[in-house]
Amino acid sequence: MKNKILNPVALIVLTLAPLLLEAQTIPPATAPKENPLILGTAYHPVEVHYYDNLLPPEAQQPGGAIIRVGEDYIGATGAGAFFLVRKADDNITAERLPIDTPHDPDAFDAAADPVVSRQFFRVIDLNVRERPAGWQLFASHHQWITEQNCLVMRVSAIELSRDLRPVGEWTTIYDTTPCMTLDKGNRGRIFAGHESGGRLAWLAPGQLLFTTGDQEHDGWNQPVAMAGSVAHMYGKVILIDVEKHSGRIYSKGHRNPQGLYIDKAGNIWESEHGPRGGDEINLVREGRDYGWPRVTYGTDYGRYQWPPAAQVGSHAGFEQPIYAFVPSIGASNLIRVEGSEFDAWQGDILVAGLASRSLHRLKLDGTRVVYAEPLAIERRIRDIELGPDGAIWLWGERGDLISLTVAKSQDSGALLFQECAGCHTTGVTSGGLAPSLFMIVGRRQADRTDYVYSEAFRGLDGVWTEELLDRFLTDPEALVPGNAMTTVKVADPVKRKAIIDYLRDLW
């Protein structure tokens, strides 16, 4: 058991905590815009900026979310540290807000068995609404109920001034029922807090939708299957009346719904994690059952079936997902692109992937998904927001923020190289179409052993200097008559220089 006696250091920290919090508000941490990554996608070259180390390491914990508040954003980490995130020219600043954690992790720590994964007890999502004197901030989170020795999922709210400072304390808007005890269950796990859903979205003024996961109470890991049962507010989309502090089931049969977005036409888009495979995108309709745990396109970890289902790989008898990912992407939040600078993405769904470390763009035809295009962001993506300027903002898991914009600078070497990337790689192996340009500046001509050069190229034995590359790109045929790249010419000297600089600086 944990030692509950406070040691002197802890006492000092507790006494100083308000001061420390105050001190952290000035100066805000800033993350400079790093060199962008240019991602070539089907319809847009995308400029990806990573703002790293935005939040101090001690405030970080997986989970958390970001929400737009006017022109700014409020971000929360899983640990319940709140930050005002603001764009200032080419920088992003993150200022610690003097808002307490809504969830009391210490009470959970004191009560829970040490084997419980503490990092799953967390703040999950945020939302806001405007008030006459400022804003009201909503947070969804786990809450330990000490008197009953069990746990609920709670939606709390706090009033903020116009400049986003707290006015008063957190108040409880809604608690799930029943309160869940930490039982070992059938398979030994006692707290599956990472399967809690927890997303918030406004259906109408005062009407807040709240998703809850079943936390493995699926009739297999734990004896009671809660998602399909009307007696348990887990595995549900719940409609909360914010003024009345009441909630009712809107839809059921969800596993771990971590994504929720209501589009301008009123469609409710939801994403949820399958077990192993079968992450779903659903259109949520009132009163419907989405089938978990009775049907899924996924299987259990380590086997080729999902025992509670009658049949493998079937969704029969329940609401069909709009789309399912196999293998799982670890679907987190999703949005629909409505009014963004990404013209060619209008109406598409963007789904954040945790395990896939990618953003997934779903092309829709009505409500049918035609295809899914993955964008390799190479980070676990927890949340997505559309900025007022049309940029797309991604909330990473480790105090990082990532912005996506349409790449505009036509002189950017990375962007110009997209033209070459149709044939050339820059990696250690060549594609079938052309030799890799790995370390091309200073490399011997025609020296790749994994590519079969043309007759004309095989006779070359010089070195690719910047000057020679410039001549080659100006007119390949003039430099190497009869070569296989004849049709590609870069007439503009500025562009040639940008491409060569880019290739040189890659290593």
Contact residues for ligand HEC, defined by CB under 6 A: 419-420, 422-424, 433-435, 437, 440, 445-446, 448, 453-454, 456-457, 464, 469, 472-473, 483-485, 488, 490, 499
Question: Which is closer to ligand HEC, CB of 277 or CB of 431?
Answer: 431
Report how far Cα 405 is from the mean position of its chain's Cα atoms.
Answer: 16
Give the shortest CB-278-to-ligand HEC separation in angstroms: 39
Question: Which is closer to ligand HEC, CB of 337 or CB of 473?
Answer: 473
Give the shortest CB-361-to-ligand HEC separation in angstroms: 25
Question: Which is closer to ligand HEC, CB of 52 or CB of 466?
Answer: 466
Give the shortest CB-419-to-ligand HEC separation in angstroms: 5
Give the shortest CB-496-to-ligand HEC separation in angstroms: 8
Contact by Cβ (8 Å): 153, 120? no
Residue 61's Cβ-side half-sphere holds a number of Cα atoms within 13 Å equal to 21
Contact by Cβ (8 Å): 382, 65? yes
Give the shortest CB-48-to-ligand HEC separation in angstroms: 21
Question: Which is closer to ligand HEC, CB of 362 or CB of 490?
Answer: 490
Which H or E run includes 451?
Answer: none
Give the shortest CB-448-to-ligand HEC separation in angstroms: 5
**Rounded to 5 degrees, what angle do the CA atoms 245, 250, 251 make?**
145
Question: Which is closer to ligand HEC, CB of 391 or CB of 469?
Answer: 469
> Each residue of 324-336: b (16+ CB within 10 Å) or e?
bbeebbbbbbbbb
Question: Which is closer to ligand HEC, CB of 22 or CB of 450?
Answer: 450
Residue nearest ligand HEC (C-beta atom): 420
Give the shortest CB-477-to-ligand HEC separation in angstroms: 10
Q: Three-state secondary structure along 126-156?
A: EEEEEECCEEEEEEEEEEEECCCCEEEEEEE
* Beta-sheet strands, E only, within 7-81: 29-32, 37-40, 45-51, 65-69, 72-76
**Rounded to 5 degrees, what angle do the CA atoms 245, 251, 255 make?**
105
Contact by Cβ (8 Å): 404, 38? no
Contact by Cβ (8 Å): 436, 428? yes
Place of tokens 């978990």: 292
- In the chain, the amino acid numbered 255 is R
Give the shortest CB-42-to-ligand HEC separation in angstroms: 17
Question: Which is closer to ligand HEC, CB of 32 or CB of 422?
Answer: 422
Sheet containing 349-353: order of strands: 331-336, 349-353, 358-365, 368-376
Question: Which is closer to ligand HEC, CB of 137 or CB of 441?
Answer: 441
